[in-house]
Structure 1
Amino acid sequence: MDNEPTRRLQELQGGTDAGTALEFFDALPPLQVPELYGSWRGTEIPTGHRLDGLLEPLGWHGKRFDGDEEVFPLVFAGAGGGVFNVNPALVPLSAVLRFGPLLRKPELLAQIRPALRLARTRRPGARLRMTEYRGVSSATMIYDALPVLDVFRRVDAETVLGAMDLRGPGAPFFFALHRE
C-alpha cells in the first residue's frame, strides 16, 4: 500500500534537522494508549540531538508495552538474539547528555554495551497515559525515574514516531517504533 507518511519517515531516517522532524511529527495523527500494547523494534531518527547515534550502537532493540502500568522503555538485544530490559533509573541521563559526543567512540561503546546487563530488570520502568503535547492529545510513555516523556504519533498501522521530550531546552530526540 502506498503510504506517504511511511515514505516520509524512511527519508527522515537518513538524517534531518529537528525542525523538519517536528513538522512531520505535528502532521501525524494521535494514538490511543491501547494501540501501543505489544513489542516494538526501535530505530533512531538523526536530527543532531545529543542522543543521536548512542542507542543503536549500544544494542537498543526497542520498547515493550504490556499495559498502562507495565511498560519496559529500554529493551536491549542480548547475546544469542534474545532481549533484556534495562532499568532506566540506573541510566545516568545527565552524564549521557553532557558527554554524548565522547560516548559515541566505538571503543567506549564496546565497553559500555556489556555493562548494560548489570542494569537488567524484570520490573516496568514507565507507564502510559494520554497527554497533550504540541496541542494534540496522544499516547505518552512517562518514565518512572527520569524527567522524560515519550510522546507517540501514528505513521501507519505498524509504525509510530516517538518524540522523547526531556526536561530543559532544546528539541526532542526522535525515534521510530515498528511493531514486532
Structure 2
Amino acid sequence: MSSLEQKFEELTKKEGHVDEADIAAIFDQSKPVEPEYLIGQWEGGSFDTGHPTHELLKTHNWAGKNFHTVDDVEPIVLYDSAGARLRETKFRGVVSAAMIYDNFPIIDSFRYISHNVVIGGMNNKLIPKEAGTYYFYLRKIVG
C-alpha cells in the first residue's frame, strides 16, 4: 500500500470532523482516471468537513453510485433515483473522469486511490462557495 493510500485510509476511518485541506491534498496528489474506469457499482463514503452535502447524504442513506455506461449513470443510489453521464473535465488543474448530473448543476470529479477506490470532489452551484468542496470516496463492489 502506498503512503498516499495509507493517508487516505486513515482519513476514511477518522471519527468526526476531517480538515478539508487534508483531503484536498490527497485529491490533488491522486492520479486521474478515464470515464470507462468507473463503469460498475460503487459503494459511497463521505468525509465530515462541515460541508452541508455530508449531512444531506447521511440523512438520505446514501449508498453510492452506479456507472452502467459513460452515458448512463445513477448518480445517487440510496438505501431504501435523475441520471448523469461521464466525461473528462479539468478540476483543480487535472483532466480526469467526471460525472455530470443531467438535472442539477453538479459535477463530481474523480481521482485514483487504488484499483478499487476513487476519491471524488463535488462542485455544486447550488451550495455557496464558502462551504468549500465536498469530498467523498467510492469503493468498487461490482464491475
Q: Which TM-score band applies after superposition, normalised by the shorter structure? A: 0.7 to 0.9
Identify, as 1 or 2, the structure richer in strand.
Answer: 2
Q: Which position in structure 1 is the counterpart of 2:139?
A: 178
Aligned residues: 135
Q: Which position in structure 2 is the counterpart of 1:44?
A: 46
Displacement, 1:16?
Answer: 1.6
Q: Which position in structure 2 is the counterpart of 1:6?
A: 5
Mapped partners of 1:32, 1:143: distance in 2: 17
Instruction: Give the number of the structure whose alpha-carbon radius of gyration is greater.
Output: 1
Displacement, 1:38?
Answer: 0.3
Displacement, 1:156?
Answer: 0.3
Q: Which position in structure 1 is the counterpart of 2:85?
A: 127
**Is this contact kept in 2: 1:161–1:177, CA < 8 A?**
yes
Provide the alpha-carbon RMSD of the alignment: 1.3
SS at match of 1:64: strand
Query: What is the aligned counterpart of 1:145 among 94, 103, 127?
Result: 103
SS at match of 1:178: strand
Q: Which position in structure 2 is the counterpart of 1:77?
A: 79
1:164 and 2:138 are equivalent in the alignment: no
- The TM-score with structure 2 as length reference comes to 0.88
Mapped partners of 2:11, 2:55: distance in 1: 15
Structure 1: stretches of 5+ with no match in the other structure: 79-85, 88-124
Identify, as 1 or 2, the structure richer in helix.
Answer: 1
Q: Which residue identity lines up with residue 29 of structure 2 in the other structure?
A: A
Q: Which residue identity lines up with residue 135 of structure 2 in the other structure?
A: F
1:25-60 Cα distance to aligned partner (Å, 9 max, x none) = 101000011100000000001111112233134221
Structure 2: stretches of 5+ with no match in the other structure: none
Q: Which position in structure 2 is the counterpart of 1:66?
A: 68
**Is this contact kept in 2: 1:32–1:130, CA < 8 A?**
yes
Mapped partners of 1:169, 1:56: distance in 2: 21
- The TM-score with structure 1 as length reference comes to 0.71
Mapped partners of 1:73, 1:47: distance in 2: 21
